[in-house]
Structure 1
Amino acid sequence: MGLIGETVDLSHPLSPALPHHPDVVPPSVTTVAGFDRDGCFAGRWDLDEHSGTHVDAPAHFVEGGAAVHAIAAADLVLLAAVVDIRDRVRGDADARLEVADILDWERRHGPLPGPCAVLALTGWAERIHDRGRYLGLDDEGRPHWPGFAAETARFLAADRPQVYALGIDTPSLDSAAGERAGSAVHHGWLGGRRYGVENLANLERLPPVGGVLIVGVPALVGASGAPARVLGLIPEPDLQPIGGSAASSA
């Protein structure tokens, strides 16, 4: 238990061994200083902007969009709305979080709070120690994993302006099938102050409503994304943030 509640690490530890998106080169690490020679230890990392648990800035898919350093600090601390689609994913590796899932969440918990992040809990993170399973590789080597539906991204962008971020526990906001069809979720969501967080972990430890997402991403100037240490805060009951039906949906 932390100072004001339970803190949940929503990031996978980043290493060259971590399964990565098929288009991402895993990081490499070299030692540049050692205790025996230099009296200290230091290393050099060579990594992709979209390595491990990471942020997709608007600039990733929008020419002239905000780079990572331009995401406002206030937009990196958001209320968390966790939408659980694990039951559907168990029977369909290509399942998507649909508009109907958002509306069902709101019927149960009230309007999406604001400002918030909508986090898709698919259960995919438990596959992280097996690259083939995490990428959902079929017999022909094609990846399969769940994602948001393109219609959901467009709906949230147009009708739920209090949502600033989408997050998911898979390699991409788009399902693998969605990426093969043109990455419509990325195109429909990223822009303005809206960003994404991919490769999350431990989302099942957050409540559907009432938690806080803290996105610790470095302010890399001009970057399309960056690895991040993402935390979930579950406040003590008497410190619970306003959410659900008590929150403004404007």
Structure 2
Amino acid sequence: MNLQEHYNELYKKSSETILAGNYKLDSQINNESDSRFGITFLIRPSEIIKANIQSFLNELKAIEPNQYYYPDSDIHITLMSIISCSDEFSLNAINVHEYIDLIQQSLVILDKIKIEFRGVTASPSAIMIQGFPTDDSLNNFRDKLREDFKKSSLQQSIDTRYAISTAHSTVLRFQEKLENPQKLMQVLEKYRDYDFGEFQVENLELVYNDWYQREKNTIHLAEFRI
């Protein structure tokens, strides 16, 4: 996949949808009884990059204060959704140590991952920071995880929703009617190719999480240094 083309196409379609008023509101964000949980293998961006993201979000907050903005603690890149969030899944249904062991076996092929955050894109319901791995290490590792999980008997739902191939971070979700979609799009255009920074991944995290990766609902299962 050409990531730039993918992000461009997503932005083009979604910006038209937003301006036409056909964007989607997330009705579950403030639902305290939302019981959708899963297992995610993820990457956290550097502190410098998160600071740059928050500066961008502050501009959006001035225009659209009633939307859902991700705090630093929740910003992430999904390396692999191992068990998709569902109200049918609970942590006691699996042996976490078996998952940790399998991931450690897969890690033998991984040397390093470096990711550049450049520009923003959108979906009909969210705003994302565009992530670009600087080489094939991330996708090669994903393929290794797919292969190893497929060979195992462990519960997993890898690629059942979609085959992950991007390195974006969702940073805003629409939860209320937009007050000024035109101004929102003007800010997005300003940041369309903005350099948020580049970082080398040092840690990978395995977590039990809710749909929004909120820290208060997250249980950290393991950390892997690379």
Instruction: Give the TM-score, by structure 2 length.
Output: 0.31
With normalisation by structure 1, the TM-score equals: 0.29
